[in-house]
Amino acid sequence: MPVKLTVTGAAAVAHAMRQINPDVVAAYPITPQTPIVEYYAGFVSDGIVDTVMVPVESEHSAMSAVVGSAASGARTMTATAANGLALMSEIVYIAASYRLPIVMPIVNRALSGPINIHCDHSDAMMVRDSGWIQFFTENHQEAYDFTIMATKLAEKENVLLPVMVNLDGFITSHGVESFEMLDDEVVREFVGSWNPKYSLLNTKNPVTFGPLDLFDYYFEHHRQQEEAMKNAYKELPGVFEEFEKISGRRYDFLDLYKVDDADYIMIVMNSTASTAKYVVDQLREEGHKVGLVKPQVFTPFPKKQFQQVLNGRKGVVVLDRAMSFGKEAPLYSLVKSSLYEVASRPSLGSYIYGLGGRDTTPEMIREAFEDALQGNLSTDEQRYLGLRE
Question: Using CB under 8 A as the criterion, which residues of the chain lie in contact with another protein when the complex forms?
Answer: 97-100, 160, 198, 205-211, 213, 216-217, 219-221, 223-224, 227-228
Cβ proximity to another protein: between 95 and 319 the closer is: 95
CB of 154 to another protein, least distance (A): 13
Output the smallest distance, CB 93 to another protein, in A: 13
The minimum distance between CB 195 and another protein, in angstroms, equals 16
Alpha helix positions (H), 72-131: 82-97, 122-126
When the beta carbons of 15 and 99 are compared against another protein, the nearer one is: 99
Shortest Å, Cβ 197 to another protein: 8
Secondary structure of residue 49 in the 3-state scheme: coil
Residue 179's SS3 state is strand
Comparing CA positions, the residue from 382, 321, 359 lying closest to residue 126 is 321
Closest to another protein by CB, 201 or 387: 201
Q: State the minimum distance, in angstroms, from the CB of residue 199 to another protein.
A: 10
Q: Which residues are CB-neighbours of 388 under 8 A, at least 6 positions away?
A: none
Span between the terminal Cα atoms of the chain, in Å: 53
CA distance 255 to 270: 11
Task: Give the Cα-Cα-Cα angle 19, 124, 104 (nearest 5 degrees).
Answer: 20
Q: Is residue 334 a contact partner of residue 328, using CB atoms and an 8 Å limit? A: no
Q: Please, which residue, 29 or 73, has the CB nearer to another protein?
A: 73
What is the smallest separation between the CB atom of 278 and another protein, expressed in angstroms?
45
Tally Cβ neighbours within 10 Å of residue 31: 18
Using the minimum distance from each CB to another protein, give the nearer residue, 197 or 327: 197
Minimum distance between the CB of residue 98 and another protein, rounded to whole angstroms?
A: 5
Query: What is the amino acid identity at position 155?
Result: E
Whether 314 contacts 377, CB under 8 Å:
no
Task: Give the shortest CB-223-to-another protein separation in angstroms.
Answer: 4
Residue number, 64 or 360, with CB nearest to another protein: 64
The residue (of 204 and 245) whose beta carbon lies closer to another protein is 204
Give the closest residue to 103 by CA, choosing from 143, 55, 45.
143
CB-wise, 66 or 86, nearer to another protein?
A: 66
Q: To the nearest whole angstrom, how small is the minimum distance from the Cβ of residue 276 to another protein?
A: 39
* CA 262 to chain CA centroid, nearest Å: 26
Q: Which is nearer to another protein, 200 or 256 (CB)?
A: 200
Count CB atoms within 10 A of the CB of residue 344: 10
Strand partners, 351: 319, 383
DSSP state of 299: E
Long-range contacts of range 231-235, CB-CB < 8 Å, 24 or more positions apart?
Answer: 231/156, 231/158, 231/159, 232/133, 232/153, 232/156, 232/159, 232/161, 232/300, 233/300, 233/302, 235/153, 235/156, 235/158, 235/159
Question: Of 216 and 261, which CB lies nearer to another protein in the complex structure?
Answer: 216
Q: How far is the CB of 217 from another protein (least distance, A)?
A: 6
